[in-house]
Structure 1
Amino acid sequence: MADSVGVALLVVLDTLGPAERLAFVLHDLFAVPFEEIAALLERSPQAGRQLASRARRRVRGAAPAPHADLTPRREIVEAFLSATRGQDFRALITLLHPEVTLRADRAVMLSAGPVTVAGAEHVARGAMAAMGRARFTGPALLDGAVGLVMAPRARLRVALTFTIVDDLITAIDVIAEPDRLVRLELAVLG
């Protein structure tokens, strides 16, 4: 299911309340009339419409800045994921700035504090070590920028945000602390 619908969509759906999720899925995916949805939810058809509308806005997420072309950044982030999944160290190195920095919060490594790794080789080796988790990872919009979300069983566990300058990844932030994850604005990439 994650492959056909997308990891990010499953994660976003998981952030909806039960009534919003039901109204959205039944109406937008299965074309169930609002009158039937309202009966299931014991609400008015107008309330069902409002629930579906609110869910639809959350699934679409905040629109990126109109001038921002996400395509080049998306290609770089997807190439990073592909190289990690394929254990292609050389391809991964070509995506990273020589002085790239990876910062992982304490929940990622279960450490007393955040962990910082610097340099393309060190960051690439760390990404290779996380290959097993990469199969539960997919691209998403995180606060309006292209990033990656790791969501085994459709539960958001880790988010990666990227800083990209001149088509090279210069910084990666790995977020796993629950209080930081809930503050991220998540949206499915179109």
Structure 2
Amino acid sequence: MFRYLQRLEELAPMGYQAGVHIRFASPLFMRSTYPQEWQELYSAQNYALRDPLVFWGVSRSGAIRWSEITLPDPFGVMQKAADFGLTYGVVVSCGKITSRTIVGVARADREFTDGEIAEVSAIADALHEVAEPPQDMTPELLEALRLAGLGVNQVAAAEQVGISEGTMKSRLSTARVLLGATTTAEAIKMAKEYRLI
């Protein structure tokens, strides 16, 4: 998953937002690299409920440049985004209406090319495919990640759950593999984003 997100970052100089497997208005996985000030305003003003990009993504599948969206924007969300440098962008939506993935990418300097849009679409499809959390994450593996996430060292964590340090290391290693993470910190972050811990 991280290589797809890394590529989105390369394609979108002003950032991206990816909501993966949105079910009942809540994504299984959510990541935004848009400017922090915009993220804070967007959240404070509850723009997700007023954003034409979200409405487009929920109601349709495919890809469209922001400039081509004709939905009403009575709250001026798009203009406010442009004030933060999110001038040009693309929104991509895929998956069933009951489990939708919506990805937005932005830049300040020019429209996205057709080739870039095709690549963002392929990434959205791939994220939708791979983003299901692993079903074989046991409570023991999740507890190991939870303790590591709290900053408990491996020796103390092992003592706390009554196992050897080697078993704790093994559990963290297995959790990394199952989540497709390269580091324990990355695995903890993914487990939190999947709402596993």
TM-score range, shorter chain: 0.3 to 0.5
Name which structure has the greater RCO, CA cutoff 8 Å, separation 6+. Answer: 1
TM-score (norm 2): 0.33
Greater share of strand residues, 1 or 2? 1
TM-score (norm 1): 0.34
